[in-house]
Structures are given as structure tokens and as C-alpha cells.
Structure 1
């Protein structure tokens, strides 16, 4: 029976959240599209964790609310102990895009006036909150969020403030307080006496997550609502006092009525990467793959070509793979840094068309999609309905990365393994590491 449900505001973070729960023995599924209520209830009886992967991080507030409100209401009605609004551990958001403030307002309107815990830290990814100020690692160094090279200059949501209380206060009129590490000995009392609508929580180590799990995340009433990263998912998994240890594979039927469980086939050692990420780390990973003999194919934005899915690029990718290339990277270069919304949507449709053609015309069954916003759009364009964590995920891929198998009514795409990669994550040799796994 479902214990916890979550909505992820981007796809890459959603797979990370699911992994946090399944690592402790909970069974879980990640929905790409919301099924009918009857089917959702069936899933709630089969799985301990149900996640919904969304794209709210790339939406303006009104569109964001239109997406998340019915989903959060449906998850509430399933009756889990917790419902999490899963966000990136770099707090990507602004008053005009992916607003955490709007998510907080919607959550309180659905789940009631209880104080909402907000935990953005995720120590295993090098993301820390201390005295409400947030820090994130990059290239082996720890930076305050507003000075972190990637996030301070992010093309969509540049981070100008490291104090998460102020960051959130810029997005809502709700009262944002905090509980600092120095107060953790009195966590229950602090929470009970709070006059705030939400509380930002510090975390520097996994021990801090465990302290949070033992105290304020034990809900007096259910479902309880919280906002946070994969660090919160890890704390919630700890907070579940009777997690099942049964690792049953709950197959979700594909839309054609077939068993949707992953059937991994194809030629080992070939991988397709499609990327809309503008992260320096992704650029480094692409360069490393090209140096190892991968084929690199840049997309050029041409409005007239959007509807045909850039067939020349897809055909070249198919030719290269069938000729024995170790892998192909189809990427958008720096183009998406100049625009958002419409341009990202156009590129994502083209990238999805490349994936479809490659899977149908080669033996490739492992696909990397790089970029949080890109991942969501590509999987939706492909018609993927759900993802399950793959039992064959290589352990050396790194924290925050989970290989998942696709469930879809398309018999050629069904069972394809996807690695949804946030722009900043993964070792420089990630693509070759997956190819050789």
C-alpha cells in the first residue's frame, strides 16, 4: 500500500527521488502521465511509493499551479503518510519560473495549515544548508549558492540569494522561518511552537537528515506535506517506520495491454545521448565522449524543420550507430542559452524524434537525456507513461543518477533504458562509463 507520494518539478530530480526510496527496499514507480483514477488506485495498492514526474520548474506560476494542483490533490486522495513536492537541490526557482513560493501556497491550500518543512540540502550531492544559507559543490569546490559558477549564471533561474528564507520570501507572502542546526536538539518543540507557515531546515550531513526524520517529519496527521530535494526523500524514507523489504517487481501494463516491465536487449556497448543541457559539466562530458570516438551531431534551430523532427540528424545518428560507432551525442550546443519556452520545446521535439528513430532502426536500448527540463519534454513527446528503476543500474555512475526502464504502449520503445541526467551531475567520463557497464 502506498506510503509516500511525490510530484517532481523536473524529470531528472524525479528519478533521483524514486531511487532514494527504492534503495531502502521500498517498491516504486514514476508516472510520466497521470492515469485514470481507477488505475491510480490500483497502483497505490501495488507500490509503496508513487511519483509523478513533471515540468513545473520550467513553467510560470499560473501554468505551474494548473499542472500541480490536480496532481497533488490526486496524490492526497490516495491517503499516503507523506506527499513531497520534489525540487532541485540547487533550489532552482524564481518569482516568474518554477516558483517554490507558488508550490508552497498550493500545497497549503490542499493539505491544510500545518507548518511545511522545506529541506533543500542533499549532502550526498554536495548540497548543504547551514543557518539557512545554501551551498553547492562544483568542480571539487563548495560555493555559496549565489556564487556557484553554474547557478549564479543559470540562463533561466540565476540564483542571486543564498539565504533560502529570502529566496522564498521573494516568491510568496507566506511567513518563512527556519530551524538551524544549533536548535536540532529541540526540533519537536520548535516545530510545535512555530508561528511560521514554512520552515527552512539546515542539513550538513546524513546524520542531520536522520535527526530530521526522527522528529518533525513524523506527521501528527496524514497525509503530511513537505517541500524538498532528494535529501528530503532520503529523510522521508528513513522516517517510514515499517518500510517493506520486499523487492517485488510490480509490472504496470503498457497501453497495448502487454507487461510493461523492462526487457533490456540490443547490442551492449552502444549508447545514444540527446542533450539540451547548457551546463559546463555536460559540455565536458560531451567533449570527453567525442575524444573517445563518439559521433557528435549538433542541432540547429530551424522553425520550418520542427515538425519533421530534423530527419537528417536522426538519419545520420542511425547510420553512425549501425556502422559501429560506440555512441552518438545529439546536442543543442549553446543555442538554448539564448531563449527558453518555445525554443526549448522545439529542440525537445527534435531530440525525441531522434530517440524514436534510433531505437526503431538500431539495436541501441540505452538512452541518456541530459538536462532537467529537456528530459521531461522528451519523455512526454515519446509517449512514455511511466518509469521503473532498473535492477541493473551500474553502481559506479554516481550519486543522483538512476537508470530507469520505460513503460509505454509503443512496443519498440517499451523497455528502453533511460538515464535522465541533470546538467551538473555525473563524472566527466559518464557516457563511456554507461557504455562499458
Structure 2
């Protein structure tokens, strides 16, 4: 498997999560390009020295039927590539439910693409991001503290996929009725031989899913070895967070598996600070709230997007966009935002306005994202911007689909899970744009300021 041109291919269930996986690979030296749809062979040939590819999707925001229609053809295509591991990338807080973003449904529609595979390895923990799994229960860092998932201040109250169960096996069982096994931290405390023996003993009973605990760098490196070796034995389809990428790259580096060609031109070369940027936030998380507020305190002009604008049928809110363009042309950075935190009354008002338009609640996220995408592209072109930030995992996917982009590559790390990327587009006005996509839970309070000031050394 070491001689494969491609080591790994992944599908990400939202855009910010996809850039998170790309970052984990790229920072370890494995050049990765993220596409917005399954790439053709000709498209892959345009990039020299790539070792991994990704396809950014929006399945986390979809009901099971729509999710299956999006995921299945992409995973079928990826399964046919000469690549070691095929990864369905989930959020590191396992955001999902039977109704939205069902990880169980993703497994159900994908597994038939791998005819001889009966068990799916699952790794959700990512210690580098403050995500841990211990004896099957998942924990996540927030504001300097680590919380069990069902007691997490944000995830336990998520407006779409609230996490009421910390045992990932029980949570997933509500979406996929199969027997599950666990490779626990106790199994991973020994050397590779003893851990491998425990893993293969559990595989002998042919569980539908086998979950790996994740606690520290040592368990991640060992898990990466077990996943890589079992992929060579037929278990190529893997599910989980960017912990999969962190684990695999830790093993690849130790095993001396070749990284990107040294002669490949780095996407982050020659990047200078931006004089002004546009930030667009469709996230209602407390983390995004602090980022918007901090940006305004640091000199960004803040413009709240009114619910009735979001509910419109595609027309441009001329006054709002004119204000944003004018400020940018004056040299100010601008942040457009839909809400400030989960308690903002604008959230309920937006839902009412969208319902009044006859738009189903299941389509609200896509409707808002596409609105913001059209507006972002309009402002960017009118103000001649070279750098843009989009906040919100679901928002980012629909925004970028409206911007005429076909690929992204990490240019610079900004905050774990939320790098600055270089854009590839057939539209020369968009090609080379610097774009940062961040999920609701990622980034420091001054994230927008850091993106504006980012430069290569």
C-alpha cells in the first residue's frame, strides 16, 4: 500500500469539517486537495504530488433520503480509486441524529460499495482538537474545560442535533441497528502486537462497527497503525472525525511512508496580510458569537442580517450589500452575521420568516446558506477582495457551492481545524482567492483578526 499514489480519500459531511481533515493531512506534510464534487481523472492530473484528496459535502444538514442521494455516488466513485483508505468524515462531536446528518445512514448506503467488508472501523476522538473517547464515552473541550458530550454546554443543547448520549455506540445505534464492539484505552495500553491481537479478536465476531477509544498521541498512533494495516486486509472504509487523519499521519510518519513531492509548489507561499476582509457568520454558537464581538471590538464593521432578508427568494438585499461594499472600499473589514449566540431572538424570527415563505424547516439551512453565498460572491467581486471568512459548518458548504469553486488547498494554519485555504476555480475572478472556513465550535475569540493578519513566514 505504501506505493499507492494516493494514500487516502475522504468525503466530509460538512465543509468546515472537510477543511479540518485537509489541515490534519497537510500539516503533517501529506499534500491534500479538497474538491467540491467528486473529481474526474483529468482534474486529479492537474495537481502534482498530491497524496490525499477530499470531497466536501453537506450531508450533515440533510435528512436520510437526501443524505443517501448525496453520499452514495461520491463514495462509489472514491471506492474505485487505487487508494488505501476511504474515509466518511464526521464532526469530532459526532453531530447527528436519525432525522438529520445520520451517520448510520451514511454507513448503510456506503458499505455495499465495499463488497467484502463487513465491519466498519470508527474513530471519533481527536486529542489535538480536545476530543477524547474513553470506554466508548465521548468528551469535548470547551472554554478550557473538558465535558462529557451529554453535559457539554453547547452540544447538549445543539438546535438541530442535541447530544443526549455520550456513549457513541448507543448514540449510533439509534441510527444503525448493528452490533458494535469497542477497542478501549485498556486494549491500546500495550504494544502494537498486543493491541493488534485485541483488535483482531474483536473482529472475529464480525461486528457491524468497531469503535476505537482515543486519549493521547500514543493511542492515536497505535490506532492509525491498526486502521492502516486492516485496510490492507480489506477494511478500507472507515468512519470518524479528523482523528482518522491525525492517527494515520502519525503512523505514516513513523513508518516512513512518503509525503508530498518536494518539488510540488506549496499553496502557502507568498501570502501577505490582507488590508481588509469580509467575514460572513451563519453560526449561532457561543464561540462564533465571541468571534463576531471580538472582531467588532478590533475595528471590524459589524452588520446584522435581518431575518426578512434571509427569507427572501433570492433577490439581493441592495441596501445591506451596498453598506458592506462601501465600508470595504473605504478600507474597513466587515463582518456580516445572522445571530449572536444560541439565545439570540433572531433565530426564532428567522425560522418564522422562512416558514411564512413556505420553505420547509428541513430546507431552511440550505436556503440561508445559498442566500449568504450569493451575497458573499457579489460583495467580494464588487469590493475586489482577496480574502474571505465563512463561519458555520452547514453554512460554509452552501456558501461555497454558490461561489463557483471546484477545489481548495490549505495555505496556512490559523487555528486547529480552521485553516486559511487557496481556492481553485474555473472563474479567473475567484481563482486564487484566500478563503477560511470555520465550524461553530472552532477558533479563538480573535479568529477573524488572525485570518486578516495571516502571512507566510
Fold shared, TM-score > 0.5 on shorter chain: yes
Deviates more, 1:136-145 or 1:361-370: 361-370
Conserved 8 A contact 2:51-2:260 = no
1:115 aligns with 2:136: no
* 2:220 counterpart SS class: helix
Q: Residue 267 of structure 1: CA displacement? A: 7.8
1:232 maps to which residue? Answer: 244
Q: Which of 246, 249, 252 lines up with 2:261 in the alignment?
A: 246
Q: Output the CA distance in 2 between the equivalents of 1:353 and 1:108.
A: 36
1:364–1:150 Cα change, 3 Å = same
* Correspondences of 1:139-150 after superposition (within 5 Å): 139-150=143-154
1:197 aligns with 2:208: yes
1:180–1:262 Cα change, 3 Å = closer
* 2:45 counterpart SS class: helix
Q: Residue 436 of structure 1: CA displacement? A: 2.4
1:130 maps to which residue? Answer: 134
* Correspondences of 1:164-175 after superposition (within 5 Å): 164-175=168-179
1:357 aligns with 2:378: yes
Q: Residue 249 of structure 1: CA displacement? A: 3.9
1:153 maps to which residue? Answer: 157
Deviates more, 1:213-222 or 1:347-356: 213-222
Q: Output the CA distance in 2 between the equivalents of 1:264 and 1:362.
A: 22
1:210 aligns with 2:210: no
* 1:5 counterpart SS class: strand
Conserved 8 A contact 1:44-1:50 = no
2:313 maps to which residue? Answer: 306
* Correspondences of 1:309-388 after superposition (within 5 Å): 309-325=316-332, 327-333=333-339, 334=344, 335-336=346-347, 339=351, 340-388=361-409
1:93 maps to which residue? Answer: 96
2:106 maps to which residue? Answer: 103
List per-residue Cα deviations over 1:322-350 (Å, max 9, x = no partner). 1121x111111144466454332232223
Q: Output the CA distance in 1 between the equivalents of 2:311 and 2:134.
A: 50
1:178 maps to which residue? Answer: 182
Deviates more, 1:38-47 or 1:269-278: 38-47
- The unaligned stretches of length 5 or more in structure 1 are 252-260
- The unaligned stretches of length 5 or more in structure 2 are 352-360
2:422 maps to which residue? Answer: 405
* 2:367 counterpart SS class: helix
Q: Output the CA distance in 2 between the equivalents of 1:171 and 1:81.
A: 27
Conserved 8 A contact 1:26-1:247 = no
* Correspondences of 1:45-56 after superposition (within 5 Å): 47-56=50-59
* 2:75 counterpart SS class: helix
Q: Residue 10 of structure 1: CA displacement? A: 0.6
Q: Residue 363 of structure 1: CA displacement? A: 3.8
Q: Residue 357 of structure 1: CA displacement? A: 2.2
1:353–1:408 Cα change, 3 Å = same
Report the count of equivalent residues.
Answer: 422
Q: Residue 94 of structure 1: CA displacement? A: 0.5
1:205–1:164 Cα change, 3 Å = same
* 2:228 counterpart SS class: coil
Deviates more, 1:344-353 or 1:298-307: 298-307
Q: Residue 418 of structure 1: CA displacement? A: 0.8
Deviates more, 1:16-25 or 1:232-241: 232-241
Deviates more, 1:420-429 or 1:229-238: 229-238
1:426 maps to which residue? Answer: 443
2:294 maps to which residue? Answer: 288
* 1:217 counterpart SS class: helix
RMSD: 2.3
Q: Output the CA distance in 1 between the equivalents of 2:69 and 2:398.
A: 17
1:224–1:267 Cα change, 3 Å = closer
Q: Which of 66, 71, 74 lines up with 1:68 in the alignment?
A: 71
Q: Output the CA distance in 1 between the equivalents of 2:82 and 2:317.
A: 45
1:65–1:46 Cα change, 3 Å = farther
Q: Output the CA distance in 2 between the equivalents of 1:320 and 1:151.
A: 36
Q: Residue 262 of structure 1: CA displacement? A: 8.5
Q: Residue 223 of structure 1: CA displacement? A: 6.8
2:358 maps to which residue? Answer: none
